[in-house]
Chain A
Amino acid sequence: MTALVRLRLAAFLRTGRALAPALAGLVALGILYGGGRAQPAEAYGVSAVVLFPVLAWQTKILLDVEPDGQRRLVRVLVGPTREQVAGLLAAGVAALVTIAVALVFPWLVGGVTGPVEPGDRSVPAGILVGVWAHLLALPAAVALGALASRASTGSAGYGVAVLAVGGVAAVALGLRGSVAPWLVPPVMATARAAAGDLPAITVLLLSAWAAAWCLAAGTVYLWHRRFRP
């Protein structure tokens, strides 16, 4: 499994296809933090929302870099389940790197500030909330990117449509007062919660919501891939 994850990451990096989502992520973060300074938890909550479609796109590209024939050769070597899981793991590792950059980025450009008023979260606590918000977005973004991959949709056009609809829906259906917020992962809800008091029960509920969404999306992906080698 590790060897396959490394092989796929190597292909992703060597083709140079990793550059496009990396640049898009940097541009999005630049715009986000160019508008002013915010406290870490609030800034990172919005950063996770902004990165969600970027991470999904990055996942799609990583999975699409591998030719269909090569994916089938790997399937013969390791079996369908490990082939699919290794793809998701490779995308997860790539997303972790992007998230690490996103967590460091605001400190380099002066986009975050420490506590301003008494009762504000400390910087370490804010960073912790930010890490949690990004880690909640990561598996959901990977699942969306996998659903949009060529192996899943069978066509580049459908893949882009899945990616665009998923990215827009995550924001649109995640707005306060949405009629069906449970249809999308809680990236928007997490951003709102991160800016507030964030009691433990909210953390648990949002984590459970994200896990349930990822489980559902992951199951759809694996089921869909049963007859799509």
Chain B
Amino acid sequence: MRLEDVWLRYRRRGPWVLRSVQVRVDPGQVVVVTGRNGAGKSTLLQLAAGVLRPVRGRLADRPRAVGWVPERFPADQPFTVERYLTGMARVAGLPGVEAERAVGRWTARLGLVPFRAVRLPELSKGTAQKVGLAQAMLRDPGLLVLDEPWEGLDAAARDLVPELVDEVVAGGGSVLVSDHRGETVRLPGARRWAVADGTVTEEDPTGTETFAVVELAVPSAQVAGTVARLRADGHHVLRVRPDAVPTADPGAAPGPPRAAEDAPDPSGSTAGPAAGHR
């Protein structure tokens, strides 16, 4: 799919939100869209998904089946989860039996089975977000557009997002995903588009970003939780050294103790190209 010299503004004589955007994503690729709040990430994703149409320029070769997960799922609807997903499957063109099968598969996959008979407005934010994910996956999407898909999801469900991305990519589809929580470290190998000042630029894929290593000491009982939180915040934990002896911080007496971390990660993971703070 290509965006060819795409310009967009929301009203006549309004400011341009996106200017002369020229990007391309090929089948099998994952692109992470980054940028500060209000930079135009969601606008770019909605253009790609087909929600918005460019004021100037054009989109070419957009796959026929597009799945879009908005940042906030519209839960204010008078349907149960099952009725809604079945209705959306039928709207997407799936015949009756196939629609029911798709709904059964994705409600099971996303842990929505206990909520099938629950009305959408009664769902928690995270569960509603899962319904948003499910509706996007009902027909195998050739393009999956995820706008802050981790928002509101619990830890187990957050792990599901990269799985879904991998499946779409393995099936020859493309994925665009935005994120401001650092969760996209779960998508290694993804290209990165930075949105700023109305323009979209591709960040250097060669990895010129610099990293710093931050050493910290935590009580042994809190190691697992701290590691999990650091990962959830998008940091790379290189290793944990349980036998470290805290030493005084020469620059901040009588501040907190400091220790190097030098042992295998208790959570079992050894992955991580860089350490500490990004």
Contact = CB atoms under 8 A, between A and B. Distances in A.
B46 A72 contact: yes
Interface in B65-105: 66-68, 70, 72-74, 76-79, 83, 87-88, 90-92
A226 B55 CA distance: 10
B51 interface: yes
B49 interface: yes
B87 to A, nearest CB: 4
A76 B50 contact: yes
Contacts of B74: 67-70, 73
A181 interface: no
A73 B88 CA distance: 9
B66 A76 contact: yes
A15 B78 contact: yes
B180 interface: no
Interface string A65-100: 011111011111111100000000000000000000
B107 interface: no
Contacts, number: 66
Contacts of A77: 66, 88, 91-92
Nearest to A83: B91
Instruction: Give chain B's interface secondary structure class.
Output: loop
Given A69-B70, A70-B74, A75 B90 contact: no
B78 A14 contact: yes
B73 to A, nearest CB: 7
Interface stretch (A4-12, A123-131, A161-169): A4-12
B125 interface: no
Contact of A75 (B50, B55, B73, B78): B50
B52 interface: yes
Contacts of A4: 91
A81 B90 CA distance: 17
Interface string B227-268: 000000000000000000000000000000000000000000
Interface in B15-56: 46, 49-53, 55
Interface in A121-170: none
A74 B77 CA distance: 14
B135 interface: yes
A6 B87 CA distance: 9
A47 B7 CA distance: 49
Contacts of A75: 50-51
A67 B53 CA distance: 20
Nearest to B67: A76
Nearest to A2: B90
Contacts of B52: 227, 229
Contact of B51 (A7, A10, A72): A72
Contact of A73 (B55, B70, B78): B70
A70 B77 contact: yes
B76 A67 contact: yes
A67 B79 CA distance: 13
B72 A69 contact: yes
A10 B46 contact: no
A180 interface: no
Contacts of A201: none
Contacts of B66: 76-77
A3 interface: yes
A9 to B, nearest CB: 11
Contacts of B79: 10-11, 14
B46 A7 contact: no
A135 B51 CA distance: 34
Contacts of A14: 78-79
Contact of A11 (B53, B70, B77): B77
Interface string B204-221: 000000000000000000
B67 to A, nearest CB: 8
A7 B50 contact: no
Contacts of B73: 69
A7 B76 CA distance: 14
Interface string A214-229: 0000000000001101
29 contacts: A3-B91, A6-B90, A7-B88, A7-B90, A10-B78, A11-B77, A11-B78, A14-B79, A66-B77, A67-B76, A69-B70, A69-B72, A69-B74, A70-B74, A70-B77, A72-B46, A72-B51, A72-B70, A73-B70, A73-B135, A75-B50, A76-B49, A76-B66, A76-B68, A77-B66, A78-B92, A80-B50, A226-B53, A227-B53
Shortest 4 CB-CB contacts between residues of A and residues of B: A69-B74, A3-B90, A14-B78, A67-B74
